[in-house]
Structure 1
Amino acid sequence: MSKRRLTQNQQRRIQSNHHKKISKKEFEWQDEMLGDIQQGIVVTRHAKHADVETESGEIFRCNLRRTLKNVVVGDVVSWRLGNEQLQGISGVIEAIYPRKNELSRPDYYDGIKVMAANIDQIIIVSAVLPQLSLNIIDRYLVICENANIPALIVLNKIDLLDAQARQEVEKQLAIYQKIGYQTLCLSADSGENMATLDAYLAQGTSIFVGQSGVGKSSLINRLLPEVNAQTGEVSDISGLGQHTTTASRLYHLQQGGNLIDSPGIREFGLWHLEPEQITQGYREFQSVLGTCKFRDCKHKDDPGCAVREAVELGKIDSVRFENYHRLIESREETKSQRHFRKEDL
């Protein structure tokens, strides 16, 4: 008995339903449609897909197995190439290799959100405009210390300062140099000290973090002219930068090393950290922690506080000490606000 042939309308309906399943992410790659397992690195993370780069430098857009909840830029993954491309999708990511480290931030809706993985150093980008905020730098440094990832503090737009103003910001940055952090003043516009930044970036995989408007995209345009990252102006009303980057990406640098650019974040929240973790994020506190008179010392007005005594003796900078308590207070306020928001849902 001969097989019944499908009409053209039936074929079109089947094909239409097939594409609808793919667009709704109902489609699942079957083993017979896929090749052998390969290793690659995630270089771009989109909402529903990820771009995987092979050892030969080819890039393929892939679906994610439903069991993979969190694939980020920098992840080393095992993936399989499909025998045909379906709506621009070339394959599927099967698994993630163990991470060396990861950079995370809290999200009101998603809880803890991993931004990138397998990072060698975090480049904290600040600027003289909208203004140099040591409190924001300290916030990022707490994250770096808890993730155990080295940090470089970069001050951009240094060309906008006169000699006196430059001396003042260098004095502020000296606070961090004294406790072992590396700092660098530069200008993406004039090119000042960009060669020094190149040398830092060539050492491995780096990621830029910082408020919107500090010039992260301008730095990327200077480092990678072919990328042409969109830049944003600082708002005259809010004094804050406008969000420009839309997807996390990993770029290969000509001088060596890799650079991860992630969507602009105005501020890293710390409400996901315990107070003890914020305390551990201040490296100069470590030599005196555990020597306070009381074990539950809050390092504020407590009698016999070794940390406050170190501040009074000039061993810990008073600005950092004040910022520490601001971060603790800010954490408590944010946790309370988040609790009320959850109750309203």
Structure 2
Amino acid sequence: MSTRATVLEAWANRAVAETVDGRLVAFHFPRRLERPLPGDEILLNERDELDELLPRRNRFGRGDNRGQFRPIAANLDQTLIVIAAEPAPSPDLLHRYLAASRICGIEPIIVLNKTDLPTPSQAPFDELEGLIELGYSVIRTCCTHASGIDGLAERLEGRTSLIAGQSGVGKTSLVNALIPELDRQTGALSQVTGKGRHTTTSARLCHLPEDSGWLVDTPGVWEYGLWQMTPRELLRGFPEFLEASDGCRFRDCSHQHEPGCGVRAAVEAGVIPDFRYRAWLRLLDEQARLSRS
């Protein structure tokens, strides 16, 4: 008889899952089955071996150094993209995360942390109001003063969220503020995995308080890259372009230099913010480099 479980963490050819009755189970997975991810729903057999990986709603991931997609977690409702004044992100880090979330069919939420610091007058900070006008959510938080934490917690209720961001932006402090009993959860998990309880070397699915939802904690990164894709696929990461692109003269318009481009016309008319169009061009150039590598 099979037991349903949720994958909490996976690395190499091993993983840990939590069964419906709250039992933590470590298991190996055979090569014939796809590698499970945090957030996956699975079936374990009577010997606590992986029997079946249940269908996913989506996967979130990143590009590796060869431009290949590397999944991080599955079955997500939203991504929390944490940025802060220190260390300030590169101009395109936020746009890459936003595009990746939309392409994967996941709602992105921008979390501006360390709001006790002055907000820089440079990208992407001076673009946040424009992103709000486009329909993106921005939540401002400060762990030092416990500001904005309750509002962020409300957005997580009943949902499975992934939190990601650059190393040093205070992501760990946010996770600890959102999950006060995190040490207990990671301690129990480390007893099963044999890994250090305070090291986040792989994505890890955690319970939110009172089982109000799930949060996938991810290791901090210095940079986040997309994977190789076609311009049409990348366009899904810029939903504000979609309506305007219907007016393009050419079906395979890259929105760079083609005559009769509806997207460029919308930018010139102020319907699409110039900063989003410039981000599109930079990410398109990045895709061209990936295709040559």
Tell me the TM-score normalised to structure 2 length. Answer: 0.87
1:296 CA displacement: 3.6
- 1:167–1:328: structure 2 CA closer, same or farther, 3 Å change rule? closer
Runs of 4+ in structure 1 off by over 4 angstroms are: 165-171
**Contact kept? 2:67, 2:226, Cα under 8 Å:** no
1:246 CA displacement: 0.8
1:112 CA displacement: 2.5
1:269 CA displacement: 2.3
Q: State whether structure 2 residue 284 is matched by structure 1 residue 328.
A: yes
- 1:203–1:226: structure 2 CA closer, same or farther, 3 Å change rule? closer
Q: State whether structure 2 residue 78 is matched by structure 1 residue 121.
A: yes
Residue 196 of structure 2 corresponds to none
How far apart, in 1, do the equivalents of 2:122 and 2:142 lie? 16
State which of 139, 160, 165 in structure 2 corresponds to 1:205. 160
Q: Which moved more, 1:48-57 or 1:101-110?
A: 101-110
**Contact kept? 1:269, 1:331, Cα under 8 Å:** no
**Contact kept? 1:271, 1:332, Cα under 8 Å:** no
Return 5+ residue gaps in structure 2 as ranges: 185-198
State which of 185, 188, 191 in structure 1 corresponds to 2:143. 188
How far apart, in 2, do the equivalents of 1:145 and 1:153 lie? 13
Query: What secondary structure is seen at the aligned counterpart in 2 of 1:176?
Result: helix
1:265 CA displacement: 3.3
RMSD: 2.4
1:161 CA displacement: 1.7
1:156 CA displacement: 0.9
Q: Which has the larger radius of gyration?
A: 1
- For residues 274-297 of structure 1, give each alpha carbon's deviation from its aligned partner in whole angstroms, at most 9, with x where no partner exists: 111112211111111131233343
How far apart, in 1, do the equivalents of 2:226 and 2:102 lie? 13
Residue 17 of structure 1 corresponds to none
Query: What secondary structure is seen at the aligned counterpart in 2 of 1:60?
Result: strand
How far apart, in 1, do the equivalents of 2:125 and 2:239 lie? 21
How far apart, in 1, do the equivalents of 2:262 and 2:123 lie? 30
1:147 CA displacement: 1.1
State which of 264, 271, 280 in structure 1 corresponds to 2:236. 280
Tell me the TM-score normalised to structure 1 length. Answer: 0.74
1:71 CA displacement: 0.8
**Contact kept? 1:73, 1:250, Cα under 8 Å:** yes
Q: How many residues align?
A: 278
**Contact kept? 1:271, 1:335, Cα under 8 Å:** no
State which of 19, 22, 26 in structure 2 corresponds to 1:57. 22
- 1:142–1:169: structure 2 CA closer, same or farther, 3 Å change rule? closer
Residue 190 of structure 2 corresponds to none
How far apart, in 2, do the equivalents of 1:253 and 1:333 lie? 40
Amino acid at match of 1:283: P
How far apart, in 1, do the equivalents of 2:167 and 2:134 lie? 27
Return 5+ residue gaps in structure 1 as ranges: 1-35, 83-90, 230-243, 340-345
**Contact kept? 2:109, 2:137, Cα under 8 Å:** yes
Residue 245 of structure 2 corresponds to 289
Higher relative contact order (CA 8 A, sep 6+): 2
Residue 57 of structure 2 corresponds to 100
Residue 268 of structure 1 corresponds to 224
Q: Which moved more, 1:129-138 or 1:59-68?
A: 129-138
1:167 CA displacement: 12
Amino acid at match of 2:258: D
Residue 306 of structure 1 corresponds to 262
1:155 CA displacement: 0.8
How far apart, in 2, do the equivalents of 1:185 and 1:197 lie? 9
Query: What secondary structure is seen at the aligned counterpart in 2 of 1:158?
Result: coil
How far apart, in 1, do the equivalents of 2:268 and 2:68 lie? 39
- 1:58–1:289: structure 2 CA closer, same or farther, 3 Å change rule? same
Residue 133 of structure 2 corresponds to 178
**Contact kept? 2:8, 2:18, Cα under 8 Å:** yes
